Structure 1
Amino acid sequence: MPDSTANMMDHLSKLIDDSPTPIYAKVKQAICQQIDSGEWQPDQRVPSELEMVRALGVSRMTVNRALRELTAEGVLIRQQGVGTFVARKKTHSALSEVHAIADEIAQRGHIHKAKLIDICQAKASMEEAMELGVRTNHRIFRATILHFENEAPIQIEYRVVNAELAPDYDQQDFQNNGAYTYLMTVAPMTEGEHLVEAVNASEKECELLQISASEPCLQIKRRTWCKEKLVTNARLISPGSRFQLFGHFKQ
């Protein structure tokens, strides 16, 4: 067993106590503690089943169940013929709420950065007019923004804005989240809706997100209102391996 693996197993074994908890659950908990503490990093290869069996003195069935359940829960990734690796933690957004992605990233203790790809003022097409509840040729802004979390591209934002409700939208500081702050100031959101779909990114979107063409993506179509007027219509695309939606319901 290589020294690095032996060191990983030594730390892992020290986390397994004598409590009456099932052994497979204690192995799971120990692995999660190593990951949460930062001892085991994302994309790092973890010891094999056989190495764990020998080092921990437990059955292969026990280790297999622990690794299988952690893989199903998205904590680990198992690649046939290659090994088991620590999964990258996915970014998540609240399904029932609307927040600025910059704020969500900051709450995780990470760094947000945005790049304005394109913005223009135009007259609404028939489709855009229907989505915003305005007449064709109504003045709008079209913007494309790429968001990053810790230097990794996390989301492409395509946004159409009712220019009459937000006349200075194109003058905002997109890099530092000024556009979101501006919208919430001039037309504070009173209502919103989400439509979530699984999609394949276009060739250009794959290039921006730095993903392969086979990577599944999540698409969120979002509209927001200020009182009875539609302010924005947005389409947000994120790599499925880096992003997830979360909802909590109670009744």
Structure 2
Amino acid sequence: MTIRKAIELLITWGLVIRRHGSGTYVARKDVHHETANLTGLVEVLRQQGRTVTSKVLIFKLMSAPPAIATQLRIHPGECIYFSQRLRFVDGKPLMLEDSYMPVKLFKNLSLLHLEGSKFDYIEKECGIRISGNYESLTPVLADKQLAQQMNVPEKTPLLRITSVSYSDSGEFLNYSVMFRNANEYQVDYHLRRLH
């Protein structure tokens, strides 16, 4: 009985589908991101022929709170950009992203840059090579505010990803907290063992 209820819940969330006479299967994700190296979401999806757009909800200058300063390896109170973007794939909301970037590295960051690819802006316009990224992934359920912003029902499973990118010279470029719709998004990692 408990398993039946759990399966019904997974069906409601869109994580599994039931085929009559056949069984219950994991639902195929709409957005597939396979990665063996550091590639931005926009780059991957454009290679797949998908249309990625960004709606900037907030863009402002602020003083870095201690927790954000620690992530960016800067002093508390230093000037940073804060942006919040809703990312769409083929017109469907996929991800909500809060992002923090040090002003001292990106003096001309604009709304237009944020409507495109941050990776492109950092590497092509600023000439800074992104060397690596630290990521942490946690499953969460959408609260009322997140559900409204991402146009999903409350308690929809989301993937919370915190990400810190750094340059060749060891500077920390960007700290982001992202919520991705787990019903629509799949990431496959190919990680190589160093010998």
TM class by smaller structure: 0.7 to 0.9
- Give 5+ residue unaligned stretches, structure 2: 1-16
Residue 129 of structure 2 is aligned to residue 188 of structure 1: yes
Give the 3 Å change call, closer, same or farther, for CA 151–131 of structure 1 in structure 2: same
* Counterpart pick for 1:246 among 178, 188, 191: 188
Provide Cα deviations, 1:95-120, integer angstroms capped at 9, x if missing partner.
65332222222222221111011110
203-212 vs 229-238, which deviates more? Answer: 203-212
How many residue pairs match? The answer is 174
- Give 5+ residue unaligned stretches, structure 1: 1-44, 50-63, 75-86
Determine if contact 1:141/1:170 at 8 Å carries over to the other structure. Answer: no
* Counterpart pick for 1:102 among 26, 33, 42: 42
* Counterpart pick for 1:232 among 171, 174, 183: 174
Provide Cα deviations, 1:70-118, integer angstroms capped at 9, x if missing partner.
x1xx2xxxxxxxxxxxx45332334653322222222222211110111
What does 1:126-141 align with in structure 2 at a 5 Å threshold? 126-141=66-81
- Cα offset, 1:48, TM superposition: 3.7
Larger relative strand fraction:
2
TM-score, structure 1 length as denominator?
A: 0.63
Higher relative contact order (CA 8 A, sep 6+): 2
Identity between Structure 1 and Structure 2 (%): 14
Aligned equivalent of 1:169: 109
* Counterpart pick for 1:158 among 86, 98, 102: 98
Query: Please, what is the CA RMSD of the aligned residues?
Result: 2.2
Residue 61 of structure 2 is aligned to residue 121 of structure 1: yes
Determine if contact 1:120/1:170 at 8 Å carries over to the other structure. Answer: no
- Cα offset, 1:159, TM superposition: 0.5
Give the 3 Å change call, closer, same or farther, for CA 125–249 of structure 1 in structure 2: closer
Q: In structure 2, what is the Cα distance between the partners aligned to 1:95 and 1:137?
A: 36
Q: In structure 2, what is the Cα distance between the partners aligned to 1:250 and 1:97?
A: 10
Aligned equivalent of 1:215: 156
Provide Cα deviations, 1:111-133, integer angstroms capped at 9, x if missing partner.
11110111101111111111111
Residue 35 of structure 2 is aligned to residue 92 of structure 1: no
Q: Which has the larger radius of gyration?
A: 1
Provide Cα deviations, 1:155-206, integer angstroms capped at 9, x if missing partner.
11110001111111135333333x4311123222112111111112332221
Aligned equivalent of 1:34: none
Q: In structure 2, what is the Cα distance between the partners aligned to 1:88 and 1:152?
A: 16
Q: Secondary structure at the match of 1:131?
A: helix
Aligned residue identity for 2:149: L
Q: In structure 1, what is the Cα distance between the partners aligned to 2:32 and 2:162?
A: 16
Q: Secondary structure at the match of 1:190?
A: strand
Q: In structure 2, what is the Cα distance between the partners aligned to 1:107 and 1:114?
A: 17
Determine if contact 1:147/1:156 at 8 Å carries over to the other structure. Answer: yes
TM-score, structure 2 length as denominator?
A: 0.80
What does 1:38-53 align with in structure 2 at a 5 Å threshold? 48-49=20-21
